[in-house]
Amino acid sequence: MDNQLQSKNNNLIGELCLYAGKIMLESGAETYRVEDTMVRIANSYGICNSESYVTPTAIIFSLDGEFKTGSKLKRINKRTTDLNKIAAVNHLSREISQGHISVEVAFQRLREIEATKSAYPYWLQVVAASIASACFVIMFQGTFKDFFPALLAGGVGYFCFLLIDRITKVRFFSEFVASFIIGVTAFYSVYKGFGVDADKIIIGSVMPLVPGVLITNAIRDLMAGHLIAGITKGMEAFLTAFAIGSGVAVIFFFL
């Protein structure tokens, strides 16, 4: 009976580790950080021989020791960037390491973290993208006459990106359409005399779409020796860059 109880408890701990890893990976955390967090949580509950293997699309976790529960697999079907959730799970893992939280309470906290919506509403994201686009134009040595066209193009493009991504769930298509709309807005602004340099407006406006976090994580994973995860994220970043470039190239082709 004691062995069955211990095995059941270990199984619950394994599910907790997988749950924490799933939230972090879906929120854009590096694979090495996900693996380290899962192992630390297991160690905090007295399981010192756990093993984790993380890729961008799956998590494999194994609890080893006197009471073996076998390996567990968790598929990852969606990925985004939410640093708030990553920080929340990291903070929870530190509290677990200090022995302040039981397994049941940790599960409840993770459910609350997962249920938390984006820290910023869509309208605020669009406003931030607009301002960032306009500022990037100035940073790329554009004129202040291109500031407001970039403000408009960046905001409209990012709004379309959020809208289409929410409807289709195909990131390549949403990024392609958003960059296409940015190109149309930029050329129309120059045609009407509101802007001066369409190239600078386009370059500044597509910057909020550029996968900066993804590129950084890909390089960090490669440097840490996580070759599969690094190459996979690098290819994902390449597809995003290709989608952005293709959308803009269509405008140049027809004009």
Average pLDDT over the chain reads: 86
How sure is the predictor about 83, in pLDDT bands with cuts at 50, 70 and 90? confident
Smallest CA-to-CA distance from 241 within 209, 204, 205 is with 209
Q: Which residues contact 205 (CB under 8 A, 6 or more apart)?
A: 133, 136, 137, 150, 153, 154, 157, 182, 185, 186
Q: Does residue 161 surpass a pLDDT of 90?
A: yes
Query: What is the rounded distance in angstroms from the CA atom of residue 113 to the CA atom of residue 88?
Result: 7
**pLDDT value at residue 128:** 94
**pLDDT value at residue 181:** 94
Q: How many C-beta atoms lie closer than 10 Å to residue 171's C-beta?
A: 19
**pLDDT value at residue 1:** 41
Q: Which residues contact 59 (CB under 8 A, 6 or more apart)?
A: 18, 21, 22, 25, 34, 38, 52, 53, 73, 74, 76
Of 17-21, 67-71, 190-194, 251-255, where does the model show the most confidence? 17-21
Mean pLDDT, range 228-246, rounded to an integer: 88
How sure is the predictor about 119, in pLDDT bands with cuts at 50, 70 and 90? low
pLDDT digits (tens, 9 = 90+) for 198-219: 999 999 999 999 888 788 888 8
CA atoms within 13 A on the CB side of 25: 28
Mean pLDDT, range 70-86, rounded to an integer: 84
What is residue 54's three-state secondary structure?
Answer: strand
Q: Does residue 165 surpass a pLDDT of 60?
A: yes
170 or 137: which leads in pLDDT: 137
Cα 100–chain centre separation: 29
Helix 31-44 × helix 2-26 angle, to 10°: 150
Mean pLDDT, range 225-249, rounded to an integer: 88
Q: Does residue 7 surpass a pLDDT of 70?
A: no
What is residue 60's three-state secondary structure?
Answer: strand
**pLDDT value at residue 111:** 92
Residue environment code for 139-154, b if the CB has 16+ CB neighbours within 10 A, otherwise e: ebebeeebbbbbbbbb
Rounded to 5 degrees, φ, ψ at 52 are -135, 145
Mean pLDDT, range 126-148, rounded to an integer: 92
Q: Does residue 154 surpass a pLDDT of 90?
A: yes
